[in-house]
Structure 1
Amino acid sequence: LAVIVEKKEFENEQKNIFYVPSTLKFLQDLAKHHRNQLNIPIIGLTGSNGKTTTKEIIHAVLSQKYKVQYTFGNLNNHIGVPITLLSIKPEHEIAVIEMGANHQKEIEMLCELAQPHIGYITNFGKAHLEGFGGVEGVIKGKSELYDYLKNNKQTILVNEQDPIQVEKTNDYENKITFGAETADYQFSEFVKDNLVGLVYNENQALSKLTGNYNYTNLCAAASLGLHFDLNFAQIKMAIENYLPTNMRSQVLEKNGKTFVLDTYNANPSSMAESLKNFTNFNGAKTIIIGDMLELGEESEVEHQSILDLATSLNFDEIITVGNEFRKINATSKSYLNSKELSDYLKSNKIESMNILLKGSRGIALEEILEFID
């Protein structure tokens, strides 16, 4: 219908080519205009770890009853959020908007665009330390979602087992809570064959996800489902049928081996949780861990901490990939990139029956999967 350009020489209004000073600002303004026409609940989601998985499960749960639009893939930044908002159509009844950030004031800006009615922060971890300026900067930056919700008298979803969430929302009444005996919704965890599930009123729902950290993600989605009047049978159906396909906590079987593929992203918090969870798998275990990016001055200390943790957990084999790990790991099991490791694996076999792959997106550890027999 039209083309928007920010180079004046291309302007031709007779052909519907319109000039604006900034196409990015135009995209954001258009998205905000569209958002202001909507009259449906908007759920805003951020956090250091688990945003995308939580968003996917929330979508799966709410879709049992409603037509839900949600952030596709990782379109969660200053460009992705406007694109997601503009994809909301008249038939949609709820929207779930994931908001990512790597510096202060970014969540604040995304909230002004999305204007959420309900907000949830998955956790406050060691992610994007370089841009946020340390852990305290992460907490302040993510809490911009709380600031927006409080200022606009909207609803906050709170995990009462997270002391930071409790502290930040202690003086606020408009909350949906889970995780404590006095919470609005009370769940308990169970694990079967390394997969995590939840129990609600003696009814079980077992997911296809691994890791205790995903139990919290399930609780958040179930809480929103109950808040929006779904029954637990519907929630159970969604949880049990949700199949992760986005390289986040994926459990795969290949040639008699069990793989945990968690290669979409990594930071010190999520890496530590993944390593601890992997110790619960039965049989020999090999970990292949890639660099954690965007840690700034904390990088060497954090990589050393993870390597020390991995060593203490007594895995059968530790393989590292990336320059940051290479600096501190002088063993022969250290590779500069995924291609170098792939070349090694073409003629060398990993004997372990359980293999964890975990690293930042830039390391692309999933590329080595085809070379493991």
Structure 2
Amino acid sequence: MIQPIDFSAFSSNYSGGNQEFSEKGLIDKIEIDTRKIQSGATALFVALDGSRQNGADFAKIAHSLKVRNFILPLKAKSNVPHLDDSNILWTENPLDALQELAKANRFQFDGPVIGITGSNGKTIVKEWLAQVLGQDVKVYKSPKSYNSQIGVALSALGIQSVHQVALLEAGISKPGEMDRLKKIIEPEIGIFTNIGSAHDENFENLETKIREKCRLFANVRFLIYRKDHALVQHFLEKTFDSDRLVSWSDVPGADYTLSVKKEKKGARILMIAPDLRTYTFATAFDDPASLENIRHVIVCSMVLGLKPEKIQAGVKLLHAVDMRLTLKSGIRQCLLIDDSYNNDLAGLEIALEFMSQQRTPSGRKILILSEMVQEGNEELMAQKISGLVSHYQIDLLVGVGQLFLRYKNFFSPQCLFFSGNSEVLAGIEKLNLDRDLILVKGARKFQFEDIIRLLEAEVHETVLEINLNALRHNFNFYKTLLSPDIKIMVMVKAFAYGGGAAEIANHLQQIGADYLAVAYIDEGVYLRQKGVTLPVMVMNPDTRYLDLIQEYKLEPVIYSLRSLEGLSSLALNQSEELPIHLELDTGMRRLGMAEEDLKDLLTHLEQHPQIKIKGIFTHLAGADEAIHEEFTLTQLTRFRELSDSIMNRLPARPIRHALNSAGIVRFPDQAFDMVRLGIGLHGVEVNQLEQNKLEAVATLKTVVSQVKKVRKGESIGYGRQGRMQQDGEIAILAIGYADGYDRRFGNGNAFVMVRGKKAWTIGNICMDMCMVDVSGLQVKEGDEVILFGKGPSLQYLAAQIGAIPYELLTGIGMRVKRNYILD
């Protein structure tokens, strides 16, 4: 929901297009996705193109949902069906118009706007600053990580007159992007968090990247930065007037000195202000990244004029902010979406959209929601929440807080309302949970983490996190290598390479995959039972189970005359058309039809017209290695010749596909009609040609169960294989080879990351646990440990033991909980 805007007035002043108006258009909602449209009467639909979709193609759907205000691309004017009684702004670039609209809304706002950029910490600084400032004033902050070209525009449109200060973050991935964002945000105060390696490949060097990011701050009154970051400090101090710069550092020499004293639980920050007064701030955090972010918050709060005692009260209450939506296992076979850290309307809609994309186990969709503390008019807010609950077809709303009790009449009688967190905990049995999908979302003061702990299943402390944003990123990267008309089949066999077939398949369905492939019929049946509707190819089907193939609309692969004859005999009296995929052996020497079988194959198909070839494909034996390039090209040529000869006898053209993840990178011009994306989706580029373009999807995590002091020479673990080289400490981790952490990683053959530092294994890997040397790392029981992810990578670990990344992913045990993350 945005501040009401006169769309007709905006359009008449916008120079980048031409208008068709039938009446005055007052708008209070911006829609870029027709699936989210609740009430179109006062909405504006902006047709933004996606990687495979033209936004204008959805204008008619938006119109059917009563939308009467549109920003549409001029190039589509001849193709868009007539939209009766509509106000239309036709423009070369709808994104430009959206950003101009956002700019107009931002400049109606009189309060200070704080712009935040940098490589890391932007979102955390924004969230924590909102928590501190929100004690006294109404704060608007951009939702989650909305810092892109579209995200910043949508964020700026959310600022309303009720707000007193606005926090907007900005992120860029290439030169030229910040100029556009700066025109929207135009901050009065800027925060430059730090500089790192993200998107380095798109910038000449770090100084170039700093320069691009600093374009956001061209007109700021004050710019806050950490002086200890030498490159940032050097650039800012040579570029900006000194009276606009506000620096802080661990050591004297900056405007604010903020030194840290670690304590048993957390830390104390000792600050010397510019007037030489000293202040102390206590925090529960003690890791370097959090302490840096907190100090940015303290300095910005001081610049804004907050009293130090008020800042201390806010800092003391700061909590870990997980900006990610997390899908996890719950009690009584429920699925749980954890978004308990915060609550606002924009974030609620994002969370509900994520919820709508998940499979519902078999029960209800339940929303546990607290009242919102920064949203202004309570009655209007209750109406908006009611509209979202209805639109996203929530079966049961559990409302917590006085707002819900005051406005019960806006909600159905089936809703449950509680005054506070303790009542929910005491009344959880009233929900009668059983295989439900539950979204928990609440403002900090309601402490919904207690509800999460109650609802979360008691499981192993080791977790495999699947980052759905990274998965989407990798999927889109491979799409950029291909022509727009090339389809993508994604391999989700073997539990989607260990990541969870149903959850990943459902997400792939949302982001535009064309086909899925599994190894066996039961895998395909499972996907159908979990709500997957994409075409599913079964690579090694048992054709005796034709009833399951037909019931669940699966498409079997035929790789021999015997398998074809077996399928034909069962389908002899069937009238229903049966689609198959034909596998040809062009050199892999695994499953597949040989050339000498093709004549009999075609004769057989002519005798069984109910069997239709939907696709023809082959497997490449060495597409991932340059040494096999000649052989691979021979395979591709052979495939083209054999498939051409088959297609010349067929009445319809089947889909042809040969390239795997490695082949897409090496031979994109040989994509035929479709490609098969497998390990590349998970962030592993086996050619090692484009690895820096991919993101790690899976992160394996565990916790430290115990820390022990061990003396030099003492033995550790079974067989006494581990030996301490000096006095030190070891940590016992809650993971072993039964969880998929290979025995070969023992005795220093692998490292883990704990508190941001490497800790190498020591001793043999046990069935349920292992040990690492943490001497000098100040590790504590309960600390999080990363076994693989961004570091160490799957490729590194596989190379350490002579394995391949596939083995490590598919070997993760089923007792390891899978959590699905949307950043």
* TM-score of the superposed pair, with normalisation by structure 2: 0.34
- What root-mean-square deviation, in Å, do the aligned CA atoms of Structure 1 and Structure 2 show? 4.3
For 1:129, give the aligned amino acid: D
- The counterpart of 1:340, out of the listed 809, 816, 819, is 809
Residues 60 and 238 in structure 1, CA contact (< 8 A), matched pair in contact too: yes
Aligned to 2:298: 222
Aligned to 1:231: 307
For 1:346, give the aligned amino acid: M
Distance 1:108 1:305 in 2: 42
2:760 equivalent to 1:314: yes
Residues 42 and 97 in structure 1, CA contact (< 8 A), matched pair in contact too: yes
Aligned to 1:361: none
Aligned to 1:327: 795
Distance 1:96 1:338 in 2: 45
Aligned to 1:3: 70
2:107 equivalent to 1:32: no
Question: Given the superposition, is the C-alpha separation of residues 337 and 168 from structure 1 closer, same or farther in structure 2, using an over 3 Å criterion?
Answer: farther
- The counterpart of 2:122, out of the listed 43, 51, 66, is 51
For 2:123, give the aligned amino acid: T
Aligned to 1:206: 283
Aligned to 2:136: 65
Aligned to 1:162: 229
Distance 1:337 1:59 in 2: 43
Q: CA deviation at 1:88?
A: 0.3
Distance 1:262 1:327 in 2: 17
Question: Given the superposition, is the C-alpha separation of residues 306 and 68 from structure 1 closer, same or farther in structure 2, using an over 3 Å criterion?
Answer: same
Within 5 Å, give how 1:273-288 maps onto structure 2.
Answer: 282=707, 284=731
- Deviates most, 192-201 or 153-162: 192-201
Distance 1:141 1:334 in 2: 42
Q: Secondary structure at the match of 1:79?
A: helix
Residues 321 and 338 in structure 1, CA contact (< 8 A), matched pair in contact too: no
Distance 2:172 2:202 in 1: 9
Residues 144 and 323 in structure 2, CA contact (< 8 A), matched pair in contact too: no
Residues 126 and 167 in structure 2, CA contact (< 8 A), matched pair in contact too: yes
Q: Which has the higher contact order (CA 8 A, sep 6+)?
A: 1
Distance 2:459 2:802 in 1: 23
Within 5 Å, give how 1:106-145 maps onto structure 2.
Answer: 106-145=177-216
Q: CA deviation at 1:164?
A: 2.0
Q: Secondary structure at the match of 1:242?
A: coil
Distance 1:58 1:262 in 2: 29
Residues 188 and 198 in structure 1, CA contact (< 8 A), matched pair in contact too: yes
Question: Given the superposition, is the C-alpha separation of residues 287 and 107 from structure 1 closer, same or farther in structure 2, using an over 3 Å criterion?
Answer: farther
Distance 2:133 2:757 in 1: 42
Q: CA deviation at 1:72?
A: 0.9
Question: Given the superposition, is the C-alpha separation of residues 320 and 346 from structure 1 closer, same or farther in structure 2, using an over 3 Å criterion?
Answer: same
Question: Given the superposition, is the C-alpha separation of residues 310 and 17 from structure 1 closer, same or farther in structure 2, using an over 3 Å criterion?
Answer: closer
Within 5 Å, give how 1:268-307 maps onto structure 2.
Answer: 282=707, 284=731
| Identical columns (%) | 23
For 2:159, give the aligned amino acid: I
Q: CA deviation at 1:109?
A: 1.9
Q: CA deviation at 1:144?
A: 2.7
* TM-score of the superposed pair, with normalisation by structure 1: 0.70
For 2:793, give the aligned amino acid: F
Distance 2:757 2:256 in 1: 39
Residues 225 and 247 in structure 2, CA contact (< 8 A), matched pair in contact too: yes
Q: Secondary structure at the match of 2:793?
A: helix
2:247 equivalent to 1:177: yes
Residues 112 and 166 in structure 2, CA contact (< 8 A), matched pair in contact too: yes
Question: Given the superposition, is the C-alpha separation of residues 194 and 168 from structure 1 closer, same or farther in structure 2, using an over 3 Å criterion?
Answer: farther
Residues 140 and 165 in structure 2, CA contact (< 8 A), matched pair in contact too: yes
Distance 2:803 2:315 in 1: 38
Aligned to 2:317: 241
Once the two structures are superposed, residues 238-284 of structure 1 have per-residue CA deviations (whole angstroms, 9 ceiling, x without a partner) of: 22222224268x9999879699x99799x9xxx9xxxxxx99x9562
Gaps of 5+ in 1: 272-277, 289-303, 350-364, 369-373
Q: CA deviation at 1:202?
A: 4.8
For 2:178, give the aligned amino acid: I
Once the two structures are superposed, residues 128-176 of structure 1 have per-residue CA deviations (whole angstroms, 9 ceiling, x without a partner) of: 1222345344333323334x2xxx3632112122222321222422122
Residues 127 and 321 in structure 2, CA contact (< 8 A), matched pair in contact too: no
Residues 43 and 95 in structure 1, CA contact (< 8 A), matched pair in contact too: yes
Q: Secondary structure at the match of 2:198?
A: coil
Question: Given the superposition, is the C-alpha separation of residues 311 and 3 from structure 1 closer, same or farther in structure 2, using an over 3 Å criterion?
Answer: closer
Aligned to 2:112: 41
Distance 1:141 1:306 in 2: 35
Once the two structures are superposed, residues 105-130 of structure 1 have per-residue CA deviations (whole angstroms, 9 ceiling, x without a partner) of: 21222112111111111111111122
Q: CA deviation at 1:58?
A: 1.2
Distance 1:344 1:213 in 2: 30
For 2:319, give the aligned amino acid: L
Looking at CA atoms only, which structure, 1 or 2, has the larger radius of gyration? 2
Aligned to 1:84: 155
Distance 1:42 1:113 in 2: 11
Distance 1:168 1:64 in 2: 35
Q: CA deviation at 1:5?
A: 2.7
Once the two structures are superposed, residues 274-325 of structure 1 have per-residue CA deviations (whole angstroms, 9 ceiling, x without a partner) of: xxxx99x95626599xxxxxxxxxxxxxxx9999x98954354573248993
Distance 1:19 1:182 in 2: 55
Question: Given the superposition, is the C-alpha separation of residues 93 and 310 from structure 1 closer, same or farther in structure 2, using an over 3 Å criterion?
Answer: closer
Once the two structures are superposed, residues 163-201 of structure 1 have per-residue CA deviations (whole angstroms, 9 ceiling, x without a partner) of: 223212224221222224243333221334564552343
Question: Given the superposition, is the C-alpha separation of residues 132 and 240 from structure 1 closer, same or farther in structure 2, using an over 3 Å criterion?
Answer: same
Distance 1:258 1:203 in 2: 37
Distance 2:220 2:791 in 1: 47
For 1:4, give the aligned amino acid: I
For 1:203, give the aligned amino acid: T
For 2:245, give the aligned amino acid: K
Q: CA deviation at 1:47?
A: 0.7
Question: Given the superposition, is the C-alpha separation of residues 310 and 203 from structure 1 closer, same or farther in structure 2, using an over 3 Å criterion?
Answer: closer
Residues 46 and 122 in structure 1, CA contact (< 8 A), matched pair in contact too: yes
Residues 75 and 81 in structure 1, CA contact (< 8 A), matched pair in contact too: yes
Q: Secondary structure at the match of 1:215?
A: helix
